[in-house]
């Protein structure tokens, strides 16, 4: 990815990718390619354009924030632990659903497909190896551009510098932010493939977009400092090693009544809880249960989030964490699961 457009943050980076994709198609004589496909439960930012990419993550707020941007379309997520297609192993069904959606909407109307390679907001529903390669083939078949949203997964968190490297896939855009400056200063970026840039050059066109603070020198200096350390210390390898330790530790807690499963890659992990492991019964209110679990972790010193639909605890420690700190996190989750068992006796059903 030889070209970059800087932004103040991640949502803006996703919007840049969409605007670039639309202008790319218009320059090629396809001005009606305006629609963008995302996955059920996905999240790509809180600005108006990014919310149009919403996979129903903000469904309850759409009445408040809907500004008429109705060009987003939603396809099934690669949530293999609760597969919508009843499959037990890697398959093409959810990719075929995207292919079918493109055809149903009209190939000539679809500009891009946007995916978070590890489906973070979809309860860390990491798709199996080959999913992104299959999706790349679908996009190529229909002339649709592929956007890899690496705002959370980029800069080594999943055990490679970018999550897409596991599938050896070349997207048309990579969006990033967060770890680009390690959060010290706001900065985002949209990486652009040469084939997209060449169309602009062939037509003598300029990208019709800009942000006042895009590429701010202070933010750029912070990002360069972070990049140097990430590359010098090969921190993605550290994330892979620590991630294996974290996953193994959390999976050792399967004896707890409310434990269901642990999924993730590197230091990007989700732990799902249910009301009763033996019966696979869910909580009547997953958000209330998830919040009780999160608070139990917080009160013991571990800051976490809960993910859609509410009963998945998101654990994403810094890639510079120590082995002792990872073990401490596992111990805290162990204690929190015990506390949750006590609190759910009548309080959470």
Comparing 70-74, 261-265, 280-284, 322-326, the range with the smallest average pLDDT is: 70-74
pLDDT band at residue 147 using 50, 70 and 90 as cut-offs: very high
The model's pLDDT over 173-192, given as tens digits with 9 standing for 90+, comes to 999 999 999 999 999 999 99
Tally of helices (H runs) and strands (E runs) in the chain: 10, 11
| CATH ID of 3-232, from 3.40.640.10, 1.10.540.10, 3.30.300.30, 3.40.630.30 | 3.40.640.10
For residue 63, give both structure tokens. 């009445």
Picking from 244, 243, 258, the residue whose alpha carbon sits closest to that of residue 334 is 258
| Separation between Cα atoms, residue 51 and residue 29, nearest integer Å | 27
Q: Which residue has the higher pLDDT, 44 or 140?
A: 140
For residue 195, give both structure tokens. 């084939």
pLDDT band at residue 86 using 50, 70 and 90 as cut-offs: low
Please report the pLDDT score of residue 243 as a whole number: 98
pTM above 0.85, yes or no: yes
The model's pLDDT over 247-269, given as tens digits with 9 standing for 90+, comes to 999 999 999 999 999 999 999 99
Mean pLDDT of the chain: 90
- Residue spans of the domains in the chain: they are 3-232, 235-343
Please report the pLDDT score of residue 68 as a whole number: 52
Helix, strand, coil % in the chain, rounded to nearest 5 = 40, 15, 45
Please report the pLDDT score of residue 277 as a whole number: 94
| Separation between Cα atoms, residue 189 and residue 24, nearest integer Å | 18
Please report the pLDDT score of residue 93 as a whole number: 63
The model's pLDDT over 87-129, given as tens digits with 9 standing for 90+, comes to 544 455 678 889 999 999 999 999 999 999 999 988 898 888 8
Q: Taking residues 310-314, what's their average pLDDT?
A: 95
Does residue 326 have a pLDDT over 60? Answer: yes
**Percentage of the chain exceeding pLDDT 70:** 89
The model's pLDDT over 31-80, given as tens digits with 9 standing for 90+, comes to 999 999 998 888 888 887 887 777 665 554 455 555 556 667 778 777 65
Please report the pLDDT score of residue 57 as a whole number: 58
The model's pLDDT over 205-227, given as tens digits with 9 standing for 90+, comes to 999 898 999 999 999 999 999 99
Q: Which residue has the higher pLDDT, 27 or 60?
A: 27
**Percentage of the chain exceeding pLDDT 90:** 75
Please report the pLDDT score of residue 109 as a whole number: 96
Comparing 7-16, 47-56, 193-202, 299-308, the range with the smallest average pLDDT is: 47-56
**Residues 6 or more apart in contact with residue 134 via CB below 8 angstroms:** 92, 95
Cβ-contact 157, 126 below 8 angstroms: no
Please report the pLDDT score of residue 295 as a whole number: 97
| CATH ID of 235-343, from 3.40.630.10, 3.90.1150.10, 3.40.50.2020, 3.40.50.720 | 3.90.1150.10
Please report the pLDDT score of residue 191 as a whole number: 98
Please report the pLDDT score of residue 40 as a whole number: 83
Does residue 314 have a pLDDT over 80? Answer: yes
């Amino acid at each position: 990815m030889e070209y970059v457009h800087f932004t103040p943050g991640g949502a803006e980076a996703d919007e840049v990718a969409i605007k670039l994709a639309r202008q790319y198609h218009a320059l090629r004589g396809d001005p009606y390619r305006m629609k963008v496909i995302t996955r059920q439960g996905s999240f790509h930012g809180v600005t108006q354009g990014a919310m149009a990419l919403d996979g129903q993550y903000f469904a309850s707020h759409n009445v408040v924030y809907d500004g008429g941007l109705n060009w987003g379309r939603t396809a099934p997520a690669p949530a293999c632990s609760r597969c919508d297609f009843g499959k037990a192993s890697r398959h093409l069904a959810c990719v075929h659903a995207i292919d079918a959606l493109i055809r149903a909407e009209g190939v000539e109307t679809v500009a891009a497909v946007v995916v978070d390679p590890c489906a973070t907001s979809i309860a860390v529903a990491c798709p199996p190896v080959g999913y992104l390669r299959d999706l790349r083939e679908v996009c190529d078949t229909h002339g649709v551009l592929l956007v890899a949203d690496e705002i959370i997964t980029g800069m080594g968190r999943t055990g490679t510098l970018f999550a897409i490297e596991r599938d050896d896939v070349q997207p048309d855009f990579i969006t990033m932010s967060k770890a680009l400056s390690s959060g010290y200063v706001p900065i985002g970026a949209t990486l652009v493939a040469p084939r997209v840039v060449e169309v602009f050059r062939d037509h003598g066109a300029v990208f019709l977009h800009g942000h006042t603070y895009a590429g701010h020198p202070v933010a750029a200096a912070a990002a360069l400092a972070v990049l140097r350390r990430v590359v010098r210390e090969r921190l993605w390898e550290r994330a892979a090693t620590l991630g294996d330790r974290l996953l193994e530790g959390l999976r050792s807690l399967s004896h707890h009544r409310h434990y269901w499963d642990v999924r993730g890659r590197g230091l990007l992990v989700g732990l799902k809880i249910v009301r009763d492991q033996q019966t696979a019964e869910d909580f009547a209110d997953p958000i209330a249960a998830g919040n009780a679990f999160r608070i139990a972790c917080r009160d013991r010193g571990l800051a976490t989030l809960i993910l859609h639909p509410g009963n998945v605890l998101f654990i994403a420690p810094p890639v510079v964490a120590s082995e002792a700190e990872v073990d401490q996190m596992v111990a805290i989750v162990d204690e929190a699961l015990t506390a949750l068992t006590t609190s759910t006796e009548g309080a959470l059903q």
